[in-house]
């Protein structure tokens, strides 16, 4: 049992090309989390986005587009807190403290940095290397207990847990002395919520590669703003193997493309892979793809249309982000005040009056 009240936090980078993997692995699950009796915070992580160069004008549009995707998918900005990271300064402040808690050896093991930096490691930004520390700060500024993410974020969530644990240990006496020990340290050991049939949606062109925003082939992903015809064309062109669908999940082993399409179908329909194979086992891909097109268009076409409507009025989105930032800061500011006390900083007191 933890002493922490349940609080859900997650984020999406405004790096363009929001796709079906982002929707099924993250955004759709954010919507479902609203049914829990917990405060949910959903953040457009623009400070993470600039770890790789972004065109400034495009970035502003992409921040509004991710916000629109949240709203169009069903996140209620009154019930949940929807905001962009750079409007809440506590994320950066806490990241600095965590830079002094996290160990170099921990970051050296992060596979996402290795993948994104590629061979030209010396030329990668320091921000890209430090990305997981900022992510820990995003989560722990709110002392979040649960984080719904796709499987690719598992290692970063483990680092968040390590940082929380080390902070709690390194400062245990000070935490107690300042009256912040709630029976389980100052920071919770956050639970990652990873799972379901779409925890890792794969490329439509190669079932061994993650569906990704940065894939050069637009046919590798279904973008959330694709219209019905484009969705249908991409599904029909998706790579498959020559065999019919198996009747049991075990039959998907060694068939990454088949496994991926069945997983996507299951996630869109809120059922399991077993359920899908019970209904479609033995079907040829041509028939199964027809059913998948129908399901994907039914879900995604209205979502894309609503996103386009919302981004056409940036003032409404900006007002939602401003309101969200204010409410987020009201939670994060007391956390940072406590952190400053715990690590031994002198906080700003009342100013001396000029005489
Ligand atoms: N293919 C995926 N399947 C399931 N979940 C996914 N997510 C991303 N791709 C998939 C989840 O979406 C959330 C937001 O991701 P992000 O925007 O923060 O960054 P990302 O993981 O870098 O997205 P991409 O598409 O993979 O971008 P690039 O091409 O830059 O690598 C997260 O919860 C993530 O797990």
Which atom belonging to ligand 1 lies closest to the Cα atom of 211?
Answer: 1
Residue 189 domain-assigned (yes or no): yes
Furthest CA-CA distance within the chain: 87
- Are 271 and 336 found together in one domain? no
Name the residue of 15, 18, 22 whose CB sits within 8 Å of the most ligand 1 atoms, as the mutation to test its pocket.
Answer: 22
- Are 289 and 153 found together in one domain? no
24 pLDDT above the threshold of 70: yes
Which atom belonging to ligand 1 lies closest to the Cα atom of 10?
Answer: 33
Residue 18 domain-assigned (yes or no): yes
Phi, psi of 84 (to 5 degrees): -110, 140
Place of tokens 């031994």: 344
Residue 204 domain-assigned (yes or no): no
pTM for the structure as a whole: 0.96
Residues 28, 78, 114, 116: which is the catalytic one?
A: 116
- Are 235 and 103 found together in one domain? no
Range 255-260, long-range pairs (CB < 8 A, 24+ positions)? 255/207, 256/202, 256/207, 256/208, 257/202, 257/207, 258/207, 258/285, 259/207, 260/201, 260/202, 260/204, 260/207
Residue 100 domain-assigned (yes or no): yes
- Are 90 and 118 found together in one domain? yes
Q: Which domain holds residue 238?
A: 218-310
pLDDT in tens, 130-188: 999 999 999 999 999 999 999 999 999 999 999 999 999 999 999 999 999 767 899 99
User: Does residue 155 have its Cβ closer than 6 Å to ligand 1?
Assistant: no
Residue 349 domain-assigned (yes or no): no
Question: Does 80 carry a binding-site annotation?
Answer: no
Q: How many CB atoms lie within 10 A of CB 265?
A: 24
Residue whose CA lies nearest to ligand 1 atom number 7: 22
- Are 73 and 141 found together in one domain? yes
pLDDT at 355: 61
Q: Active-site residue 213, yes or no?
A: yes
Q: Active-site residue 210, yes or no?
A: yes
- Are 338 and 284 found together in one domain? no
Residue 50 domain-assigned (yes or no): yes
Residue 62 domain-assigned (yes or no): yes
If one counts the domains in the chain, the total is 2
Beta bridge partners of 42: 10, 82
Rounded CA separation 39/5 (Å)? 9
- Are 165 and 249 found together in one domain? no
CATH code, domain carrying 230: 1.10.240.10
pLDDT at 1: 37
pLDDT in tens, 44-77: 999 999 999 999 999 999 999 999 999 999 999 9
Residues 28, 210, 239, 289: which is the catalytic one?
A: 210
Name the residue of 10, 18, 19, 26 whose CB sits within 8 Å of the most ligand 1 atoms, as the mutation to test its pocket.
Answer: 26
User: Does residue 13 have its Cβ closer than 6 Å to ligand 1?
Assistant: yes
CATH code, domain carrying 174: 3.40.50.620
Can you read off the two tokens belonging to residue 355?
């005489």
Residue 352 domain-assigned (yes or no): no
pLDDT in tens, 301-316: 999 999 999 999 999 9
- Are 76 and 46 found together in one domain? yes
pLDDT in tens, 93-135: 999 999 999 999 999 999 999 999 999 999 999 999 999 999 9
- Are 116 and 263 found together in one domain? no
- Are 60 and 118 found together in one domain? yes
Band of pLDDT at residue 31, cut at 50, 70 and 90: very high
- Are 242 and 106 found together in one domain? no
- Are 261 and 293 found together in one domain? yes
Question: Does 14 carry a binding-site annotation?
Answer: yes
User: Does residue 132 have its Cβ closer than 6 Å to ligand 1?
Assistant: no
Beta bridge partners of 82: 42
pLDDT in tens, 261-288: 999 999 999 999 999 999 999 999 999 9
């Amino acid at each position: 049992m933890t002493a922490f009240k349940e609080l859900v936090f997650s984020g999406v980078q405004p790096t363009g090309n929001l796709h079906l993997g982002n929707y099924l692995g993250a955004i759709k699950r954010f919507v479902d989390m609203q049914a829990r009796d917990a405060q949910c915070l959903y953040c457009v992580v623009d400070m993470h986005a600039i770890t790789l160069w972004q065109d400034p004008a495009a970035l502003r549009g992409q921040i509004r587009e991710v916000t629109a995707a949240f709203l169009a998918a069903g996140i209620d900005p009154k019930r949940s807190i929807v905001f962009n990271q750079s409007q809440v300064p506590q994320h950066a402040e806490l990241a600095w403290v965590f830079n002094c808690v996290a160990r170099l050896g921990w970051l050296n093991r992060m596979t996402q940095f290795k993948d994104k930096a590629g061979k030209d490691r010396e030329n990668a930004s320091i921000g890209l290397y430090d990305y997981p520390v900022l992510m820990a700060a995003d989560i722990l500024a709110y002392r979040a207990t649960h984080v719904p993410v796709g499987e690719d974020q598992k290692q970063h969530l483990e680092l968040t847990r390590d940082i929380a644990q080390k902070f709690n240990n390194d400062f245990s006496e000070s935490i107690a002395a300042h009256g912040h020990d709630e029976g389980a340290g100052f920071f919770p050991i956050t639970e990652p919520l990873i799972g379901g049939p779409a925890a890792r949606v794969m490329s439509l062109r190669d079932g061994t590669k993650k569906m990704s925003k940065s894939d050069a082939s637009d046919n590798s992903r279904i973008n959330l703003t694709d219209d019905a015809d484009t969705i249908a064309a991409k599904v029909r062109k998706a790579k498959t193997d020559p065999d019919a669908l198996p009747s049991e999940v075990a039959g998907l082993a060694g068939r990454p493309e088949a496994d991926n399409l069945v997983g996507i179908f299951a996630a869109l329909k809120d059922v399991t892979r077993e359920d899908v194979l019970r209904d479609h086992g033995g079907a040829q891909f041509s028939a199964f793809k027809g059913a998948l097109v129908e399901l994907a268009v039914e879900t995604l076409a209205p979502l894309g249309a609503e996103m386009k409507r919302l981004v056409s009025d940036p003032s409404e989105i900006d007002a939602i982000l401003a309101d969200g930032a204010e409410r987020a800061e009201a939670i994060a500011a007391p956390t940072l005040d406590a952190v400053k006390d715990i690590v031994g900083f002198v906080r700003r007191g009342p100013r001396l009056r000029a005489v």
